[in-house]
Structure 1
Amino acid sequence: MPPLALSKLHMRCPVSSLPRSNLTTSIPVRLRRSLCQHQHQGSFLQLQRATKPGFRSSGLKHRPSLLEGVPSFLSSSIPSSTTSFRRLYCSKHTATPTTSSNDSEEYRDARIDIMPSANLSPDDAYARAFNNNSEWRRSLAETEPELFEQMSKGQSPQILWIGCADSRCPETTILGLKPGEIFCHRNIANILVNTDINSLSVIQYAVQYLQVKHIIVCGHTQCGGIAAALDNKKLGLIDTWLMPLRALRQDNLALLNSLNEVERGLKMVELNVRNSVKQLLANPVVIDGMHERGLQVHGLIYDVGSGELRELDIEEDEEVVKSRVVAFKTV
């Protein structure tokens, strides 16, 4: 039966009255969802979401009612590629996932059976990275046997790192620290503006609730965002994000034009870090943290060619600090 005819038939009669021989053939995904939604009030979609990687399925464990009354004839129409879903959907969640003794009890109880990426080559970047997790986990458990247990109880980082999304600038690796020691926010070119709710939320949470002691703004050499801001090509949506950098370039155009290409790029990285630090120092939450408990703000530049960090001098005159507090501090 053509999909359109089947769709019209579905509008006139319930799923249970349809010929099962027709339903066991290839049913379009959208129609299959519609049929199952009509008959089972959304159970299909809830279970389909549950099979996505990262989904915590503890809710399914305690809700067998979602799995009751599933028509067996619909299960045969599920493509073979969704083996995990069929197993979960048709066996009422009886699959037993494999776990190791190091899994936390909460996570072990909540896990569901997820299909591995069986079709990927071992040389595939994702497969290699995913498989590396086992060795990383084993090695860290040997050198820091209590670390995972400590992290499962919460986090108490002392540093908020605001850096670039560049793949060459992993903050924990650069600083030689362990998981749980840095709270992190990264975006293209480590830009901070007082209208970005994303970065503002991270800053408030880190300062007000995690009580970090240091905020680091870190730029880096050979930054693609900086290079784009120094160029005049149309880039599309990213042009909107780079507007603060272009404005910074405008404000320092004479200085930047007096430098050669390499020096101009480095100076722009520095100006951007200083500008982001300035944005932080005008943030009321940061001002409160500095005055109430000695929160410190730092500006760094990372050299991707050598791995070296350089700290910028961001000291300010006392009068500048006082005037900013008067202007930006809220009560």
Structure 2
Amino acid sequence: MSDLDTLLNGLFTANAQWAKDVEAAEPGFFQESVKGQAPHTLWIGCADSRVPESVVLGARPGDVFVHRNIANQFPLDDVNSKAVLEYAVNFLGVQHGAFPVVVVHFIFPTYSLPVVVVGHTECGGATACLAAAKRTTFPEHGQLLTIPTLPYEAPLNQWLEPLTRLAGTLDLSTTPMEEALPVVVEENVKLQVENLSKTTTLANAWASNDNRRNVRVHGWVYNLNTGLLKDLQVTKGAST
């Protein structure tokens, strides 16, 4: 048996044990989950494997609706990100401040949700963008290569370009990396909160006469050294 086969078999074994443990602790949990999901939070986070949202929040399957990508970005021209937001706000029935047990799909929900944008310390995407912004050859205009070993058209360079340009505006060229990186991480979270607040989905929600008006967007940072979340106090809502 190859090392890959051993790894894959181990994953199935771990899954079987997990399912057994969950059923033993809460009989009928999986049968109940078939009836629908009732998440209380929309988490927009980084794809980094060290920041698994359900583990970080001590949550169960069904508690958190999730959208993750490299460096927890929410580009206004990204249909994937916008579709997740639209579904969560308008159809899913996640909420802000309470925990529902019933979800009715494809009608406006009777409650609203916290949307949390979560960056994290030691983010690899933010590190690459900061390093690119600190190069003496950083271009103010034109093509920008965050990963110089890849062509401009490479998906990774295309995805990271907005964050690299953000890092280039922060006047960090002479700041040591260990001091500059937390600034980039936090400023990136703040920008994504702003981007979310500019979406048609949230504009319509905040202008509505139903509970979607109560949707709030929060900006957090997860600290890999402590396992704790930090609230950046940049919350956006209908009145902010």
Q: State the TM-score, normalized to the length of structure 2.
A: 0.77
Displacement after TM superposition at 1:302 (Å) = 0.5
- Residue number in structure 2 paired with 1:287: 203
> What SS is found at the alignment partner of 1:134?
helix
Q: Which has the larger radius of gyration?
A: 1
What's the CA shift for 1:316? 6.8
Residue identity matched to 1:234: P
2:127 corresponding residue in structure 1: 227
**Which residue does 2:110 correspond to in 1?**
none
Secondary structure (helix, strand or coil) at the match of 1:268 reads helix
Residue 125 (structure 1) shift = 2.9
The answer to whether residue 166 in structure 2 is matched with residue 266 in structure 1 is: no
Q: Quick check: 1:249–1:268 contact (8 Å CA) kept in 2?
A: yes
Paired position in structure 2 for 1:245: 163
Instruction: Give the structure, 1 or 2, with the largest relative contact order (CA under 8 Å, sep 6 or more).
Output: 2
In structure 2, relative to structure 1, the CA distance for the partners of 1:120 and 1:151 (3 Å cut) is farther
Higher helix share: 1
Once the two structures are superposed, residues 29-78 of structure 1 have per-residue CA deviations (whole angstroms, 9 ceiling, x without a partner) of xxxxxxxxxxxxxxxxxxxxxxxxxxxxxxxxxxxxxxxxxxxxxxxxxx
Pick one of 181, 197, 201 that aligns with 2:79: 197
Conserved 8 A contact 2:216-2:236: no
Give the structure 2 partner of residue 218 of structure 1: 118
Any gaps of 5 or more consecutive residues in structure 2? 95-112, 133-146
Residues 56-111 of structure 1 deviation map (CA, whole Å, 9 limit, x = unaligned): xxxxxxxxxxxxxxxxxxxxxxxxxxxxxxxxxxxxxxxxxxxxxxxxxxxxxxxx
Residues 297/174 of structure 1: CA separation in 2 closer, same or farther (3 Å cut): same
1:133 equivalent among 8, 11, 15: 15
Whether 1:304 aligns to 2:220 is: no
One-letter amino acid of the counterpart of residue 126, structure 1 = L
In structure 1, stretches of 5+ residues that fail to align are: 1-118, 322-331
Q: In 1, are the aligned partners of 2:44 and 2:66 still within 8 Å (CA)?
A: yes
CA distance in 2, matches of 1:123, 1:306: 34
CA RMSD of aligned residues (A): 2.2
Q: Aligned AA for 2:199? A: N
Q: Which has a greater percent of strand? A: 2
Give the alignment's TM-score, normalised by structure 1: 0.57
* Mapped contact 1:120–1:127 kept (Cα < 8 A): no
Moved over 4 A (4+): 120-123, 315-319
Change in Cα spacing, 1:169 to 1:316, as seen in structure 2 (3 Å) is closer
Aligned partner (choices 72, 78, 90) of residue 208 of structure 1: 90
**Matched letter for residue 271 of structure 1:** E
Q: Taking structure 1 as reference, are residues 248 and 299 closer, same or farther at Cα in structure 2, changes over 3 Å only? A: same
Q: CA 1:142–1:302 in structure 2 vs 1: closer, same or farther (change >3 Å)?
A: same
- Give the % identical residues: 35
The 1:194–1:317 alpha-carbon spacing in structure 2 relative to 1, beyond 3 Å, is closer
Residue 151 of structure 1: how far off its partner (Å): 0.9
- With over 3 angstroms needed to count, the CA separation of the structure-2 counterparts of 1:318 and 1:156, relative to structure 1, is closer
Q: What aligned pairs does 1:148-159 form with structure 2 within 5 A after superposition?
A: 148-159=30-41
**1:276 counterpart residue number:** 192
Structure 1 counterpart of 2:54, one-letter code? T
Number of residue pairs matched by the alignment: 200
